[in-house]
A and B are shown apart, each in its own frame.
Chain A
Amino acid sequence: MNLFQYDFMIRALIGALVIGLAAPALGIYLVQRKMSLIGDGIGHVALTGVGVGLLLDRSPVITAVIVAAAGAVAIELLRERGRTSGDLALALLFYGGIAGGVMLVGLSNNRSNASLMAYLFGSLTTTSRTDLVVICVLGAVVLAAMLLLRPALFAICHDEEYARVSGLPVRALNILIAVAAAVTVTIAMRTVGLLLVSALMVVPVAAAQQVTRGFRSTMAAAMALGVLAAGLGVWLAGEIDTAVGATIVVLAIAGFLAVAVAAAAWRALRRRPFTRTAEVEPPDVILER
């Protein structure tokens, strides 16, 4: 039986592929900044947005984008200050976000645990036609911004002070990254789920950088791995009836392990012939005739 004869499967697949491409393109900047967990935090905050949407009977995607973007900008401004309390402020924001979200969903008409689980871990059946349009448009915007602004975003994440002395609009670009992270989290919540989307931003980058030498090649490889994990994940989740977000993430981590092992094996193999050639090298002096 072919699962992809169902429209909902096709929609879930397209949504997952867009996210598989956009999440690592954004995530590479977060990883470079050592802020790999920030996507997770924004996901927590976005749940409050979902709660607000369900409570007001509005599209939860729109309210989640707004609340998550506000949270992401707040996190960015805290980071910019760089003061000691930043770490605790983040913790407050994360836990406040998820607790607020669960409470608001409970107060709404749509209070079943099933709907909460669908937002937290993703679901194959919840992506509507409208959702898919929103996912594709916003995903394309995020992707275009991350690719077109790569030199400037790379400079800022690599050496922020240097970027400042280069006269780059550092704060505006930092806020752009924060808002793009919030948008990516929100469009991913339908398929991958709020609690696991961060993995799709980080794990493909972690896998790619085992074998790449430059930033651009890491970005390309991470996007390829992201799309692969997302596509295979939707298919496998449909076949064996598991939560789609979890399936995608498990596949991505399996990919990371495979790449890490292969890279280590490749390095070990390359080292061996090197010592062999050293042995057969001709002697520098002739000691005996």
Chain B
Amino acid sequence: MYVTAEPVFSAEPVVEIAHGVVGYADRPVLRDVSLSAAAGEVVAILGANGSGKSTLIRAILGLVPLRGGTVRLFGTPLKRFRQWRRVGYVPQRLGAGSGVPATVGEVVASGRLARRGVLRPPGAADRAAVTAALTAVGLAERAAEPVATLSGGQQQRTLIARALAGEPELLVLDEPTAGVDASSQTAFADALRGFVDTGGTVLLVAHELGPLQPLINRAVVVHDGKIAHDGAAPVPAGHHAAPDHDHVHPHAPEEPPGVCLT
């Protein structure tokens, strides 16, 4: 179904972290982590809370400093990497935000900044990309509404639209479906599938894959700051394996998830 022609993996990895070490104060979070993803791959990074999986992608994006090791994006060492237009980032949730209202369209339009720069005013291509991204996540009708009035799932879709608006080659997502309602999860998976079909590379941190499962070609499990598994997606165990189990907690989003990843 989703195996439309085997993706052509080029020799040079899109993302590469070699012997990465990250720590806060005296507490090591990642110890000697190596991982790379080739163009067109969809890699899920799985792990329990506190395993270091979010830290791993934050280190790859340069949001937390590396104590050791190296990161390369599109073959360029992170320090010298300037082509941020090729990267789309979807954070876990909308930043702490503020009282100043912002519309869905305004938030998504900031996704164009990496491409158009600080000084150039938005043009027709920018507006078209914003509309296309909003349509891809099913929020085209809500562009003029304040973000704060949307549901958590719709806010999350706004964030993926912001990343898609920049027309990136690599998408990095931090727990995009955590605590998101079922309809938003499906809309999210559809948007991601559209991106993968155009040859995009995806690095995705998750607790559980849910409707994203069929998109994943590779799973990496982070445990205790190290990579414990790198290969096929782990098979769900227990009642999570039941065919009708879609693992959504509509009434208790803060409940700890039941999937056993290692």
By a beta-carbon cutoff of 8 Å, the part of chain A in contact with chain B is 28, 31-34, 148-149, 151-152, 154-155, 157-169, 173, 205-206, 209, 212-216, 218
When A155-B110, A165-B61 are in contact, do A213 and B95 touch as well, CB less than 8 Å?
no
Q: Which residues of B contact A213 (CB under 8 A)?
A: 101, 103, 144-146
A167 contact from B82, B97, B103, B144, Cβ within 8 A: B82
Closest to B145 in A: A213
Cβ contacts A to B, 24 pairs, < 8 Å: A149-B119, A152-B113, A154-B106, A154-B110, A155-B113, A161-B95, A162-B91, A164-B61, A165-B61, A165-B84, A165-B172, A166-B89, A166-B113, A169-B118, A209-B99, A209-B101, A212-B101, A213-B144, A214-B101, A214-B102, A214-B106, A214-B146, A215-B106, A218-B100
A212-B101, A214-B144 known; A161 vs B91 contact (CB < 8 Å): yes
Which of A31, A162, A205, A212 has the most C-beta atoms of chain B within 10 angstroms of its own C-beta? A162
Question: Which residues of B lie under 8 Å from residue A28 when comparing CB positions?
Answer: 100
Contact check, B162 vs A162: say whether CB atoms are below 8 A apart.
yes
A165-B61, A213-B101, A215-B101 are contacts. A160–B95 as well, Cβ < 8 Å? yes
- CA A16 to CA B97, docked complex, whole Å: 31
* Contact between chains at A149 and B118 (CB < 8 Å): yes
Q: Which residues of B contact A164 (CB under 8 A)?
A: 61-63
A-B Cβ contacts below 8 A, count = 102
What 12 new A-B contacts, CB under 8 Å, besides A167-B84, A214-B106? A34-B98, A148-B119, A155-B110, A158-B110, A163-B110, A205-B100, A209-B100, A213-B145, A214-B105, A214-B144, A215-B100, A218-B101
Indicate if B87 sits at the interface (CB-CB under 8 A). yes
B residues in contact with A31, CB < 8 Å: 98-100
Q: Tell me the complex Cα distance, A205–B87, Å.
A: 34
Complex Cα–Cα for A160 and B96 (A)? 10
Q: With A and B bound together, what is the CA distance between A206 and B101 in angstroms?
A: 11
**Is the CB–CB distance between A152 and B118 below 8 Å?**
yes
Within 8 A of A (CB), among B95-138: 95-103, 105-107, 109-111, 113-114, 118-119, 122
Determine the chain B residues whose CB is within 8 A of the CB of A32 once the complex forms: 98-100
| Leading 6 A-B pairs by shortest Cβ distance | A167-B84, A214-B103, A159-B95, A155-B110, A166-B114, A165-B89
Q: A218 CB to closest chain B CB, in angstroms? A: 6
- Taking a contact as CB atoms closer than 8 A, the residue among A149, A151, A209 that contacts B122 in the complex is A151
Q: Which of A34, A158, A161, A215 contacts B63 (CB 8 A)?
A: A161
A214 contact set on B, CB distance < 8 A: 101-103, 105-106, 144, 146
Structural contact, B98 and A165, CB atoms closer than 8 A: no
Check A151–B102 contact: CB distance below 8 A: no
Q: How far is the CA of A140 from the CA of B145 in the complex (A)?
A: 32
Q: Which residues of A contact B113 (CB under 8 A)?
A: 151-152, 155, 163, 166, 168
Task: A45 to B114: give the CA distance in the assembly, Å.
Answer: 36
**Known contacts A164-B62, A214-B106; A158/B144 CB under 8 A:** no
Q: Tell me the bound Cα distance from A234 to B242 in angstroms.
A: 73
Chain B residues near A163: list those with CB within 8 A: 110, 113
Instruction: Enumerate chain B residues within 8 angstroms of A215, measured Cβ to Cβ.
Output: 100-103, 106
A32 to B99, CA, bound (A): 6
Tell yes or no: B85 within 8 A of A by CB. yes
Q: Is B166 an interface residue (CB 8 A)?
A: yes
Kindly provide the distance from the CB of A266 to the nearest chain B CB, expressed in whole angstroms.
16
Inside 8 A of A169's CB, which chain B residues have their CB?
A: 118
**Complex interface: chain B residues within 8 A of A159 (CB):** 91, 94-95, 110
Q: How far is the CA of A104 from the CA of B211 in the complex (A)?
A: 67
| Chain B residues in 8 Å Cβ range of A218 | 100-101
Give the Cβ gap from A257 to chain B, nearest Cβ, in Å. Answer: 17
Chain B residues near A152 (CB, 8 Å)? 113, 118
Q: Write out the residue numbers on chain B whose beta carbons fall within 8 Å of the beta carbon of A205.
A: 100
**Smallest CB gap from B105: residue in A:** A214
* Interface hub of B83, B109, B114 (most chain A Cβ within 10 A): B114
Q: Which residues of B contact A160 (CB under 8 A)?
A: 95
Cβ 8 A contact of A166, one of B97, B105, B106, B110: B110
* Identity of the chain B residue whose Cβ is nearest the Cβ of A35 in the assembled complex: B98
Return chain A residues, CB-CB under 8 Å to B106: 154, 214-216
Q: Does A158 lie within 8 Å of B97, measured CB to CB? A: yes
Query: Chain A's nearest CB lies how many Å from the CB of B122?
Result: 7
Residues of B with C-beta under 8 A to A168: 113-114, 118
A44, B146: Cα distance in complex, Å: 35
- Shortest distance from the beta carbon of B246 to any chain A beta carbon, whole Å: 30
Of the listed residues A149, A166, A206, the one surrounded by the most CB atoms of chain B closer than 10 A to its CB is A166
